[in-house]
Structure 1
Amino acid sequence: MSIDIRPGSVTFQNVRKNFGAVTAIADLSLTIEPGTLVTLLGPSGCGKTTTLRMIAGLEHPSAGRISIGGKDVTALPANERDVSMVFQSYALFPHMSVADNVAYGLISSGLRKAEAREKAADGLALVGLAGYGERLPSELSGGQQQRVAVARALVVEPQVLLLDEPLSNLDARLRRRVRTEIRELQQRLGFTAVYVTHDQEEALAVSDTVIVMHQGRIAQAGTPRELYEAPASAFIADFIGEANVVPCEVTRVADGRAEIRVGEGGHALAARGLAVGPAKLAIRPNAMTLREAAGAMLSGRVLHAAYLGDHVEYEIETKAGPIFLIDSGTDRMLAPGTAIGVDLHDRGLALVPE
């Protein structure tokens, strides 16, 4: 017996969700294509978890329409939506074996126990846990427990797999490994996945599309590269990749390129539709070079320095404001108070509207 995944789409049409007088989601429209992994990303209170819960049927919209696989599910209960969810806490039954945990949903839906156990074994093999079926959850590592939760969600063959902060209980090194395993499994099986996280690096690492939410709305949606290299606003630039956002002046625009004045110098980069006038420049921490203050584009003084093994992190006070900079030159470490200059690279910069 094998697992047959038939991925479905998810569509929101002008969805609103109110909790009393509070609007958690305001006029949300989006489409998640079948077979893609889409991450809902944003700070606490942005509406990402509420959106996920509305897909699951754990919350119902105050207005608008939700479809899964082309079927209107707006008013359907959770058990009729053909979705499955992986929770932050894993939600495994501690007294049941791993195999019984994976088979639980199948047996509850009416499948014979022998067939459910066979399918559970297939699910465990998919996530690299063949032979672990008779163990208890307490006998597994955190990463293995998370894989059991994924197997349990997949064996019911949902159109859409929902993952709610699935790695938040794991340490940093294990998070990197398990997120890679989830992404490889999704690509191999081709299921539709909606993934919620507040971790920007995690979102960039696993997603086909990242939807950044802010105050109940979509601030920007795009590929990880699009969001990182072409942020639509200062909020996106700062939230994705910890950019420095400093004021600048666009002095000339020609052939899609802008000449700008920033600090004591000039630079040229993609205009991104901006006209002559004030703007904001997003500068990634690794898109700058330290040099002598005289003649540098930005000059200032070191406020803080931290040695982190393969790089040094600096906070530098400049006329344009504080700058966070990552320097790979670990053979030196500048003391607070040191006068220093900063020049910009050609990559890692983006203009955003004032």
Structure 2
Amino acid sequence: MTHFPTSVPLGTPAPASPVNRPAVEFRAVTKRYGAFTAVTDVSFSIETGTLVTLLGPSGCGKTTTLRMIAGLEQTSIGSILIGGEDVTTRSAAERDVSMVFQSYALFPHMSVLDNVAYGLVVGGMAKRQAEEAARAKLELVGLAGLEKRLPSELSGGQQQRVAVARAIVLEPRVLLFDEPLSNLDAKMRRRVREDIRQLQQSLKLTVVYVTHDQEEALAVSDRIIVMAGGKIAQDGSPRDLYERPASRFIADFIGDANIVPALLEARDGGLGRFKVGAASLILPHRDVAEGPVELAVRPHAIQLAAVGEGSGGVPGRILYAAYLGDHMEYEVAVTLGGREITLFACTLDVDTPRVIGDAVSVGFVPQSVTVIPA
């Protein structure tokens, strides 16, 4: 695996000033296609040198938002600023951005070197100078020595790196990625996302990255903007979104989560005592009122014990069991809030697996349980 040069992780960006403006800014942007509204009143800013991911399910508006940054779509209402300059009505060629497409969009009849140098040559740079710049970027992405090959002679991961080199050789103010890993297998996706993150940090690139893959977003991002129904559902760091989801949708969408009914019995300072069936948990109450609430319980927060071994647990029954090498996955039926629900659980105990039909006592690790705000 090729690793790009590393750097010290980026710190908190300084406040915007005349010489340190947000790299990208959306001001109350709406995009309509006839009677259909794809993006509704979206506002955000992206600081220079950060990687921000637009995340969400299909049809949420994330790709439309990216295409508006690129100038491939025009806003219906609102303004877009890049480097503090209003580019709302400018064409794609006038915005100083480069885009890495899902399909890579490499010229099949051109060599790797010619593909990377193409934008510079079209922009008026002398061919020899453009090729020198292209060679430098190919070396940066770990493709030195492959300059004469055609795209068809490269693996999917190598083609992706060519597309990245072609984008960064233009030295854009903002680099855009549209579902860049969707054509790669699982192992290659992990490798290439590490490469992209290391490249972004080492060169302090400003990157806007679109994906529907939650794990991918958590792995590469300084910040994640989750979209749903054309609006921003939550905007924050990967840890904020995973550990402090702002809604039921976010809790269910960011990583696997079991949505469990509970009762907040009492509050004391920032903590509350929650009742989940027979189990009692002390958790940050996140300002919810006493009474019925919902908790987001991560699969690894569920502890399974034989009946009689776990005191104060919730009675359950194994519905499904799967061995995945380094862990077991289970579906467990429990009765909570007067109805039967199914919990998804993961455990590292692969030596003494439970089988379908086993009666178990279900407990919860408080550190991986969070309250869902009303």
Range class of TM-score, shorter chain: over 0.9
Does the 8 A contact of 1:41 with 1:200 survive in 2?
Answer: yes
Match of 1:304 in 2: 320
| SS of match in other structure, 1:319 | strand
Task: Provide Cα deviations, 1:296-353, integer angstroms capped at 9, x if missing partner.
Answer: 4321111111111111100011113110000111012222221111111121110012
Gaps of 5+ in 1: 1-5
Is 2:46 the partner of 1:32?
yes
Match of 1:63 in 2: 77
Residue of 139, 146, 154 corresponding to 2:153: 139
Residue of 96, 106, 110 corresponding to 2:120: 106
Equivalent residue runs for 1:147-166 within 5 Å: 147-166=161-180
Is 2:138 the partner of 1:124?
yes
Q: C-alpha root-mean-square deviation of aligned residues, in Å?
A: 1.3
Code of the residue aligned with 2:142 in structure 1: it is: G
Is 2:318 the partner of 1:318?
no
Give the % identical residues.
59
Q: Distance in 2 between matches of 1:23 and 1:263?
A: 43
Match of 1:337 in 2: 357
> Which moved further from structure 2: 70-79 or 265-274?
265-274
Q: Distance in 2 between matches of 1:301 and 1:57?
A: 54
Code of the residue aligned with 2:358 in structure 1: it is: T
| Alpha-carbon shift at residue 293 of structure 1 (Å) | 3.4
Task: Provide Cα deviations, 1:17-38, integer angstroms capped at 9, x if missing partner.
Answer: 1111111111100001110000
**Distance 1:227-1:73 versus aligned 2 partners, 3 A rule:** same
Q: Distance in 2 between matches of 1:203 and 1:107?
A: 34
Q: Distance in 2 between matches of 1:297 and 1:208?
A: 38
Is 2:291 the partner of 1:277?
yes
Q: How many correspondences in the alignment?
A: 349
Residue of 244, 265, 270 corresponding to 1:256: 270
Task: Provide Cα deviations, 1:237-271, integer angstroms capped at 9, x if missing partner.
Answer: 11111100111111111110011111112110111
Code of the residue aligned with 2:245 in structure 1: it is: P
**Superposition misfits of 4+ residues, deviation over 3 angstroms:** 293-296
Match of 1:188 in 2: 202
Match of 2:187 in 1: 173
Gaps of 5+ in 2: 1-19
Q: Distance in 2 between matches of 1:208 and 1:265?
A: 36
Match of 2:215 in 1: 201
Code of the residue aligned with 1:330 in structure 2: it is: V
Match of 1:3 in 2: none
| Alpha-carbon shift at residue 225 of structure 1 (Å) | 0.8
Code of the residue aligned with 2:281 in structure 1: it is: H
Match of 1:52 in 2: 66
| Alpha-carbon shift at residue 8 of structure 1 (Å) | 6.3
| SS of match in other structure, 1:351 | strand
Q: Distance in 2 between matches of 1:286 and 1:94?
A: 46
Does the 8 A contact of 2:137 with 2:168 survive in 1?
Answer: yes
Is 2:90 the partner of 1:81?
no
| Alpha-carbon shift at residue 52 of structure 1 (Å) | 0.3
| Alpha-carbon shift at residue 275 of structure 1 (Å) | 2.1
| Alpha-carbon shift at residue 167 of structure 1 (Å) | 0.6
| SS of match in other structure, 1:173 | helix
